[in-house]
Amino acid sequence: MTGKDIGLAASLLRSGKLAAIPTETVYGLAGNAFDENAVLSIFKAKGRPAFDPLIVHSDSIGKIRAFVKEIPDALEAFAEKFWPGPLTLILEKEEIIPDLVTSGLDTVAVRIPAHPLTLELLRSLDFPLAAPSANPFGYISPTSARHVEESLGDRVDYILDGGDCVIGIESTIIRHDSGGLTVLRLGGMPLEELRSIEPGIKVMTSSSNPAAPGMLESHYAPSIKLVAGDLEKLMEEYRHMKIAVLNLDKDISGENIVASLSLSPRGDLDEAAKNLFAYMRRLDRSGADMILADLMPEKGLGAAINDRLKRASAK
C-alpha cells in the first residue's frame, strides 16, 4: 500500500514491519535498526547479501549519540554543517546496534535525511531506522514511490509517498581514521562542498574498497547492458545495435537509436542527478538492446553521476 500516513508507517515499524521511506536522495527500505528480525527482513526483501552493511537514519545528533561511541571532532563539523542532508558518516557503534546492521563491522553508517515526512516519522519513533535503498539488490535505485511499487511492492508493508526525490542520487559517505578523512562513496553532497571544510579530504577509488564491501559489486544496473564512456565513440562502435542513449544536454537521433534522453537540456548537473535513475529505468524499458551513456563533466554532482554510470556498466 502507498500513502502519506506517517502514523500508519510508524505503527508498522513499531511492530517490526518494513516501510519504504522518502528521502532527498533515494527511497529507503526501512526497519527498526535495534530489532534484529526487522533488519533481517530488510536483507531478505532486497535479496541483499549479508556482507553489505546498512545505513542507519535518525532525526537528531542527540539521538545518534546514544548508539555510537563518539562523533570525532573531524566529523562533527560535517554533521553540524550538512545535516539534515545527503551525507553519511561512519562512526564506531555501540552494542545496541545489532551486528547484522553493520555486517559485523564495529562501525555504523549514520545520517539525518532531509525530507519533511521522514523527519516527522523519525521524530515519532524511539528507535532509528536502518534503510538501504529500496531496490532489489544491484538494480537501479528508486527516486519515486512508484519505482518502489514496481520492484518491491509485494515485499514492503507500506510505502510512504513523499514525492520525487529532490537530489536523486545516494548520499556521500565519509570516514575519519588515522589516515585522515576519506570519501568512501561519491554522492549527493558534492566533493567541492566537503573540501570547503576540509581541503585535504581524499577519495577512495572504486576498484578496491574493503571498508565498504558492498561497493565492490556491480550496482545500479538496468536489466539490459549499459556501457558508459565517450558517447560519440560508443555510437560508432555499436552502430549495428539497436541502442538507447543517455547524455547530458544533446538531442541525439539516428537510424539505430530507439530512444534518446538528455538528463538536463540546460546542462545543469543537479537536474541531471535528479533525473538519472528515472531515465535509466525508462531506457531499460525502451525496447533497445543496450544503453549507451555519455560521461558528465567531473564537477559538482557530475562526479557522483559518473560513478553510478561506471558501476552500472561494470557487468
- Contact of 172 with 185, CB cutoff 8 Å: yes
- Looking at 6, 68, 97, 109, which residue binds ligand TXA (CB under 6 A)? 109
> Concatenated DSSP letters for 64-114?
HHTTBS---HHHHHHHHHH-SSSEEEEEEBPTTS-HHHHTT-SEEEEE---
**In whole angstroms, what is the distance from residue 278 CA to residue 192 CA?**
26
Q: Which does 23 bind (CB under 5 to 8 A by kind): Mg ion, ligand TXA, none?
A: ligand TXA
Q: How many residues does the chain have?
A: 315
Nearest of 74, 301, 277 to residue 189 by alpha carbon: 301
The answer to the question of residue 117 lying near ligand TXA (CB under 6 A) is no
C-alpha cell at 227: 556501457
Q: Which residues contact 266 (CB under 8 A, 6 or more apart)?
A: 249
String marking each residue 209-228 x if it binds ligand TXA according to CB under 6 A: --xxxxx-------------
Task: Give the single-character DSSP code of 190.
Answer: -
Least Cβ distance, residue 273 to ligand TXA (angstroms): 12
Least Cβ distance, residue 275 to ligand TXA (angstroms): 17
Least Cβ distance, residue 200 to ligand TXA (angstroms): 20
Cβ distance to ligand TXA smaller for residue 79 or 90:
90
Cβ distance to ligand TXA smaller for residue 95 or 255:
95
String marking each residue 117-136 x if it binds Mg ion according to CB under 5 A: ----------------x---
Nearest of 37, 42, 47 to residue 57 by alpha carbon: 42
The answer to the question of residue 190 lying near ligand TXA (CB under 6 A) is no
Give Cα 208 to chain centroid, integer Å.
Answer: 19
**Cis link prior to 84 (omega < 30° from 0)?**
yes
The answer to the question of residue 121 lying near ligand TXA (CB under 6 A) is no
**In whole angstroms, what is the distance from residue 25 CA to residue 142 CA?**
9
Cβ distance to ligand TXA smaller for residue 7 or 49:
49
**In whole angstroms, what is the distance from residue 306 CA to residue 228 CA?**
8
The answer to the question of residue 144 lying near Mg ion (CB under 5 A) is no
Choose one: 125-133, 254-262, 290-298, 305-313; the region binding ligand TXA (CB under 6 A).
125-133
Cβ distance to Mg ion smaller for residue 133 or 313:
133
- Looking at 32, 41, 102, 118, which residue binds ligand TXA (CB under 6 A)? 102
Cβ distance to Mg ion smaller for residue 140 or 231:
140
Nearest of 18, 46, 39 to residue 100 by alpha carbon: 39
The answer to the question of residue 170 lying near ligand TXA (CB under 6 A) is yes
Site for ligand TXA in 31-60 (CB under 6 A): 52-55
Q: Is 222 helix (H, G, I), strand (E, B) or coil?
A: coil
- Looking at 84, 132, 142, 168, which residue binds ligand TXA (CB under 6 A)? 132
Cβ distance to ligand TXA smaller for residue 48 or 244:
48
**In whole angstroms, what is the distance from residue 237 CA to residue 235 CA?**
5
**In whole angstroms, what is the distance from residue 205 CA to residue 270 CA?**
23
Least Cβ distance, residue 133 to Mg ion (angstroms): 3
Contacts to Mg ion by CB under 5 A: 133
Binding residues for ligand TXA (CB under 6 A): 23, 25-26, 28, 52-55, 88, 90, 102, 105, 107-109, 113, 131-133, 170-171, 173, 184-185, 211-215
